């Protein structure tokens, strides 16, 4: 994955609060504030064991605050930095994803509302409640932010067997922005109480976000030629690594379809591939 060295990066879209921790007293994830929050809690129940955490530990996590983005703005100015520095690459991916969706919305006569990505360490406080890195990357509709502890990408490889790589990271980020698009379109609010099971609205919501990630990748490669050999395989491998069936085998020793919330490995791979091959968000209607 490679960006135009002369491309200008917009670091205002990424808030860096890593290393900034203060005691938090806000509501906790799992407090009944919508489908986005519940999906985060369920993910925490799966991923928590990797850090020795229980769902209760997630609920009482301390918060973080502060902008902390001045250093990011200084070092991440162009695509040249994005090609050599992970932080700057995250900025470039966020910029690219939001540029695509802004154009796509404009073409359909709608206005896209940008969402910031917050980079945090260990724990953070959100409009959806406090959360630790155990929940993995997530989107909070309450404040329209994507939350990301970069240590997740290490765990994706070490604990879940993904190959990793820059484009695997880009897939994860684009998936979370897919949820932001769903929030703007009102799709997220249609899930209601249908939150578990292989045919549930929650699973279909996640698969649509995977497909949206593929749509972005299609257009980013068409317009920016960002893909290099092996990049697509990185994304597909990451999608497979975080399928419900594979995660459940690793954490529970068995597959329980009735508790699916994100889709199987095959479904997630298929959804991303469909978006990537067609470049048409209409083909993502799940």
- Please tell me the predicted confidence (pLDDT) of residue 19: 84
For helices 231-241 and 201-224, angle between their N-to-C axes, nearest 10 degrees:
170
Q: Which two tokens stand for residue 267?
A: 């479904």
Q: What is the pLDDT of residue 46?
A: 38
- Start-to-end Cα distance in the chain: 29
pLDDT at 29: 45
Quick one: pLDDT at residue 257?
A: 95
Enumerate residue ranges in the chain where pLDDT < 70: 21-68
Q: What is the pLDDT of residue 271?
A: 98
pLDDT at position 57, please?
38
Give the predicted TM-score (pTM) of the model.
Answer: 0.85
pLDDT tens digit string along 217-272? 999 999 999 999 999 999 999 999 999 999 999 889 999 999 999 999 999 999 99
* CA dihedral (229, 81, 151, 179) positive or negative: negative
The per-residue pLDDT for 21 is 56
**Are 263 and 203 within 8 A, CB to CB?**
yes
**Secondary structure of residue 156 in the 3-state scheme:** helix
The residues spanned by each domain of the chain are 11-284
């Amino acid at each position: 994955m490679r960006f135009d060295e002369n491309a200008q990066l917009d670091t205002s879209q990424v808030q860096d609060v890593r290393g900034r921790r203060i005691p938090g007293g806000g509501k906790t994830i799992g407090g009944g504030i919508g489908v986005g929050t519940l999906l985060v809690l369920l993910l925490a129940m799966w991923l928590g064991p990797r850090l020795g955490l229980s769902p209760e530990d997630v609920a009482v996590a301390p918060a973080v605050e502060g902008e902390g983005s001045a250093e990011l703005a200084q070092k991440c100015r162009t695509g040249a930095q994005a090609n050599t520095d992970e932080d700057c690459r995250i900025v470039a991916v966020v910029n690219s994803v939001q540029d695509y969706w802004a154009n796509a919305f404009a073409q359909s006569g709608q206005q896209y509302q940008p969402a910031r990505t917050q980079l945090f360490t260990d724990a953070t406080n959100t409009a959806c409640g406090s959360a630790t890195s155990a929940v993995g990357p997530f989107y909070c509709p309450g404040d329209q932010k994507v939350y990301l502890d970069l240590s997740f990408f290490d765990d994706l490889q070490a604990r879940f067997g993904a190959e990793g790589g820059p484009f695997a990271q880009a897939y994860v980020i684009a998936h979370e922005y897919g949820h932001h698009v769903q929030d703007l379109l009102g799709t997220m609010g249609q899930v209601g109480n249908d939150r578990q099971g292989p045919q549930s609205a929650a699973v279909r919501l996640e698969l649509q976000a995977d497909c949206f990630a593929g749509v972005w990748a299609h257009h980013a490669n068409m317009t920016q030629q960002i893909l290099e050999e092996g990049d697509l395989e990185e994304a597909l491998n990451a999608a497979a690594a975080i399928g419900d069936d594979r995660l459940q085998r690793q954490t529970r020793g068995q597959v329980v379809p009735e508790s699916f919330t994100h889709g199987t490995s095959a479904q997630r791979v298929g959804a991303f591939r469909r978006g990537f091959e067609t470049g048409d968000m209409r083909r993502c209607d799940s």
